[in-house]
């Protein structure tokens, strides 16, 4: 219905992020392609914590992809994308990218960081789950930490296998590749019983795979504090559902879209709301609620205050009801 969108609008999840150029596309396997991104003018990109991901915009949607480098003062970012035909379309769009294309991405986000106090890092990957695991392995080698890797992939269809093998040495002391379930079960069972004291385990792959590895580890007596699994975006607030606010004093109704905060919506409408942190902790942007149940997502209000539903922090909180009425 709209005219040709030459410049699709920036998705809220990548706002304040980076505008990068595709500098290389290389096929890893039949279904997995690696895409390298760099600043169009060249130069350094922000460092990132090993195991971090980028949120990448494709058309009007976004997807999160793990970065495969160590994160130490990079001049390019590399992600690998598995083509999922029945997905929302992100991976298909990513597979269409060519050298020279520009993409909007978030700054790197960390939700799968290595534990600084680990004596050894046991890295376990399945399929495309190799991407953050490779990042961890590279960082361990760079920092002189000790790591070993178990990598499950289809025969002759392992992405980044060559890079993982090239890391073997004093940092990455072992790489076990498994191409069938049975051999993996044995390798994992053996590994879980023979790690040095103080080892942390990191797992990335399909959810059922991660659950099975974590369950096996726990049943062997591993404490949860030493088990880490990739959970995209778990550290950030989700963009939430759209809702309406009715401003009682002016009678104005405003639509708050998904991914846009109530505070931003009010500011756009010309309302000046005192605010400081914009993260739900300082308490400055409190608003009185006359009707409707806010979805409280702040760290400021007490449980009683939240239950009373008479105030809300408009920088992060949203609405459980389709409409909220504010004393504004």
Contact residues toward other proteins (CB under 8 A) are 44, 46-49, 52, 71-73, 107-110, 113, 115-117, 142-143, 225, 235-236, 274, 276-284, 299-300, 302
- Our CB check for other proteins shows the closer of 33 and 134 to be 134
- Our CB check for other proteins shows the closer of 236 and 238 to be 236
Q: Whole-number minimum distance, CB 6 to other proteins, in Å?
A: 30
Q: Whole-number minimum distance, CB 181 to other proteins, in Å?
A: 32
Q: Whole-number minimum distance, CB 70 to other proteins, in Å?
A: 8
- Our CB check for other proteins shows the closer of 72 and 183 to be 72
- Our CB check for other proteins shows the closer of 195 and 275 to be 275
CA distances from 250 to 34, 208, 247, 290, 328 (A): 53, 52, 6, 14, 7
Distance (Å, whole) CA 69 – CA 76: 9
Q: Whole-number minimum distance, CB 127 to other proteins, in Å?
A: 26
Distance (Å, whole) CA 186 – CA 208: 18
Give strand pairing partners of 151.
125, 177
Distance (Å, whole) CA 290 – CA 324: 8
Closest CA to 199 of 178, 228, 168: 228
Judged by phi (left if over 0) then psi (alpha if -120 to 50, else beta), residue 240 lies in: left
Cβ atoms of 274 and 284 closer than 8 Å: yes
In eight-state DSSP terms, residue 168 is B
Structural tokens at position 22 = 């595709």
Q: Whole-number minimum distance, CB 316 to other proteins, in Å?
A: 10
Judged by phi (left if over 0) then psi (alpha if -120 to 50, else beta), residue 316 lies in: alpha
- Our CB check for other proteins shows the closer of 20 and 93 to be 20
Cβ atoms of 37 and 67 closer than 8 Å: no
- Our CB check for other proteins shows the closer of 46 and 206 to be 46
Q: Whole-number minimum distance, CB 12 to other proteins, in Å?
A: 15
Q: Whole-number minimum distance, CB 39 to other proteins, in Å?
A: 15
Burial class (CB in 10 A: 0-12, 13-18, 19+), 304: exposed
Q: Whole-number minimum distance, CB 97 to other proteins, in Å?
A: 25
Backbone angles phi, psi at 101, to 5 degrees: -65, 150
- Our CB check for other proteins shows the closer of 56 and 93 to be 56
Query: Are β-strands 18-27 and 102-105 bridged in parallel, bridged antiparallel, or unpaired?
Result: antiparallel
- Our CB check for other proteins shows the closer of 7 and 116 to be 116
């Amino acid at each position: 219905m709209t005219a040709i969108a030459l410049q699709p609008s920036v998705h809220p999840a990548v706002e304040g992020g980076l505008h990068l150029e595709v500098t290389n596309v290389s096929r890893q396997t039949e279904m997995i392609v690696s895409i390298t991104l760099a600043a169009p003018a060249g130069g350094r990109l922000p460092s990132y914590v090993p195991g971090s991901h980028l949120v990448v915009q494709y058309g009007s949607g976004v997807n999160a992809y793990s970065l495969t480098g160590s994160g130490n003062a990079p001049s390019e970012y590399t992600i690998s994308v598995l083509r999922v035909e029945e997905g929302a379309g992100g991976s298909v769009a990513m597979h269409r990218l060519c050298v020279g294309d520009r993409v909007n991405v978030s700054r790197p986000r960390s939700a799968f960081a290595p534990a600084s106090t680990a004596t050894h890092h046991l890295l376990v990957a399945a399929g495309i789950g190799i991407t953050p695991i490779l990042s961890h392995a590279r960082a361990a080698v760079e920092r002189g930490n000790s790591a070993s890797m178990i990598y499950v992939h289809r025969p002759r269809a392992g992405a980044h296998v060559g890079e993982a093998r090239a890391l073997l040495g004093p940092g990455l002391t072992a790489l076990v590749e498994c191409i069938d379930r049975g051999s993996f079960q044995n390798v994992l069972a053996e590994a879980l019983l023979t790690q040095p004291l103080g080892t942390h385990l990191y797992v990335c792959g399909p959810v059922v795979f991660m659950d099975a590895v974590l369950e096996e580890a726990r049943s062997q007596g591993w404490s949860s504090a030493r088990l880490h699994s990739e959970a995209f975006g778990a550290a950030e607030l989700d963009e939430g559902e759209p809702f309406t606010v009715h401003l009682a004093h002016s009678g104005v109704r405003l639509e708050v879209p998904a991914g846009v905060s109530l505070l931003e919506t009010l500011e756009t409408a010309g309302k000046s709301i005192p605010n400081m942190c914009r993260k739900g902790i300082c308490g400055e942007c409190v608003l009185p609620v006359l009707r409707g149940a806010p979805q409280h997502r702040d760290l400021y209000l007490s449980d009683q205050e939240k239950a009373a539903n008479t105030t809300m922090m408009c920088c992060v909180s949203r609405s459980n009801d389709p409409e909220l009425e504010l004393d504004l």
